[in-house]
Amino acid sequence: MLVNHETRSVRLVTSDESQSANAQTKTLSGGEKSAVQLAFLIALAKQSVSPLHIFDEVDVFMDEGSRIKNLDLLLKFGLMSKPDKQIFLITPHSEICQFIRENYDAKDVCVQTVSKVAPT
């Protein structure tokens, strides 16, 4: 993460085993960008004193395997932080709800689903 105090901007720089450390996020796929953004948000949440964090559709461009892997990390972060932090995850992907129900204790994680939104 590169912070420019003059322009009040932040630039994220990413790399993996096959890339140099200066790979820019514009070269990443949509799913890779979503994963980097989620990692950045988790890092910010770790430093935040706020007891409440809402993640809205952070998994939108991820494929199913990446979605489950990355959101599993988010849930583990939430469980490690408890009782200090509450995490709300909003996603349109029903497989996440199924994954949570199958892999997490109901006393630790609450899953609420909305099947339809009533017309206004």
Assess if residue 88 is contained within a domain. Answer: yes
Q: Is the overall model pTM greater than 0.75, yes or no?
A: no
Provide the residue range defining the domain that includes 8.
Answer: 2-103
pLDDT (tens digit per residue) in 87-97 = 888 888 888 88
* CATH number for 8: 3.40.50.300
pLDDT (tens digit per residue) in 48-68 = 888 898 999 888 889 988 999
Helix (H) or strand (E) holding 10: strand 9-11
Number of structural domains (the chain) is: 1
Q: Single out the residue of 96, 107, 97, 34 nearest to residue 14, CA to CA.
A: 34
